[in-house]
Amino acid sequence: MAQAQEMRSPIESGCPDGFQYMHPVMRRNFGMWDHHDHPAPGVLYHESETGEGIWTVRAGTQRILDVFTLRTLCDIGDQYGDGYVRFTTRSNIEYMVDSEAKVEPLVKALEDAGFVVGGTQNSVTMISHTQGWLHCDIPGTDASGVVKAMMDELIDEFRNTNMPNRVHMTTSCCQINCGGQGDIAINVQHTKPPKINHDLVANVCERPSVVARCPVAAIRPAVVNGKPSLEVDEQKCMCCGACFPPCPPMQINDAEHTKLSIWVGGNHSNARGKPTFQKLVASGIPNNPPRWPEATAIVKRILRTYQEDGRDWERINDWIERIGWPEFFNKTGLPFTRYHVDNWRGSRNSLNASAHIRQ
């Protein structure tokens, strides 16, 4: 314990006060904003009841920032901005400035340095994503790499506002879905039960916890090759991978059988309808590093159909609600299979119990 006594006790300060880092115009006008304008993609103007205004320039980055890039972002903020920034929910950086004259040079400096100004209003904004192979302990795929490869192809949609409404995309590298709900989500989907290393289970896994973790009660204790282990009822198993985090010898990730699924229509906003969950539209997509072209092709096909067919203010879920799911599959050319019919708890509510058919 002698060593422990030398340790520094933490200052349990918790969440820092945001006001100390806020642009003075924002501090002065806190709670007094009157309206906003969208002068150009990636640029916002907010005006207060006092008549004071603030301009915001939003830019996409690689999100996994090295200190050089972080300092470049700071240099731009000091030279062309007022030294005040924030990050959006989708990890875009925002520079706040107190004069319109600063906007154009700031936009130019960001673009010249390789960042991408946009991500506002009816754009396809930055894909919110998870850690993937770079840092997660259970990933089926990479996250930053998938996003980089996709954003390379969606960059024009980030820079412009050509969609019927905003498009929020997400990715998740396992079926826990840390990426959350999105208008379009690209998520890992395992298709085979875990492969168990029975030599390691007894020493590595707390077996009752692993049994309890399974959503479909497919795991039971067993003695295999004379060693206490776990076995999986492969008829019951729906390959979600929930057992893998508490029991790494139950390897769920597979170079061939770990696939990607695409989901659409998740919407966190309460505008118009209530918030919605995303729905499965495509699966069996190969997990194909380094650029995942098959997944990107489907995403682009969905986006193009939505762009052509969606009406003003319709998010993807609103659009599909108007045209109907048959027409969605028809227009995107994606196959509808029996696997698209939900059989999880509460699924009966997702069946059509009516004669409402768009004939």
Binding to another protein in span 225-254, by CB under 8 A: 240, 242, 248, 253-254
Cis omega before residue 290 (within 30°)? yes
- Determine the Cα angle at 151 with ends 295 and 116, to 5°: 175
Q: What is the smallest separation between the CB atom of 176 and another protein, expressed in angstroms?
A: 5
Q: Site residues for another protein, window 104-133 (CB under 8 A)? A: 114-116, 128, 130-133
The nearer residue to another protein, 314 or 332, going by C-beta atoms, is 314
Q: What is the smallest separation between the CB atom of 154 and another protein, expressed in angstroms?
A: 8
Sign of torsion over alpha carbons 208, 214, 215, 216: negative
Interface with another protein, residue 85, by CB under 8 A: yes
Give residue 239's Cα distance to chain centre.
Answer: 22
Q: Site residues for another protein, window 252-311 (CB under 8 A)? A: 253-255, 258, 266, 268-273, 275, 277, 287, 289-291, 311
Q: Contact letters (x/-) for another protein, 43-82, by CB under 8 A?
A: ---x-------x-x---xxxxxxxxxxxx-xxx-xx----
Q: What is the smallest separation between the CB atom of 71 and another protein, expressed in angstroms?
A: 6
284: left (phi over 0), alpha (psi -120 to 50) or beta: left
**3-class secondary structure, 175:** coil
- How do strand 227-232 and strand 93-97 relate by DSSP bridges? unpaired
Q: What is the smallest separation between the CB atom of 82 and another protein, expressed in angstroms?
A: 9
The per-residue DSSP string of 276-342 comes to: B--EEEEEEEE--TTT-HHHHHHHHHHHHHHHHHPPTT--HHHHHHHH-HHHHHHHH-----GGGS-
* Interacting span for another protein (CB under 8 A) from 100-108, 138-146, 219-227, 294-302: 138-146
For residue 291, what are the contacts with CB-CB under 8 A and spacing of at least 6? Answer: 149
39, 313, 326, 343: which one binds another protein (CB under 8 A):
313
Interface with another protein, residue 141, by CB under 8 A: yes
**3-class secondary structure, 166:** coil
Phi, psi angle pair for 129, to nearest 5°? -145, 175
Q: What is the smallest separation between the CB atom of 233 and another protein, expressed in angstroms?
A: 17
Q: What is the smallest separation between the CB atom of 93 and another protein, expressed in angstroms?
A: 8
Give the separation between CA 33 and CA 35, rounded to whole angstroms.
Answer: 6
Q: What is the smallest separation between the CB atom of 132 and another protein, expressed in angstroms?
A: 8
| Cβ neighbours, 10 Å, residue 209 | 11
Interface with another protein, residue 351, by CB under 8 A: no
179, 193, 265, 310: which one binds another protein (CB under 8 A):
179
Phi, psi angle pair for 9, to nearest 5°? -80, 140
Q: Site residues for another protein, window 193-232 (CB under 8 A)? A: 209, 212-213, 215
Q: Site residues for another protein, window 143-172 (CB under 8 A)? A: 144-145, 148-149, 151-153, 155
Please check whether residue 170 is in contact with residue 162, taking contact to mean a CB–CB distance below 8 angstroms: no
Interface with another protein, residue 24, by CB under 8 A: no
Q: What is the smallest separation between the CB atom of 105 and another protein, expressed in angstroms?
A: 16
Interface with another protein, residue 16, by CB under 8 A: yes
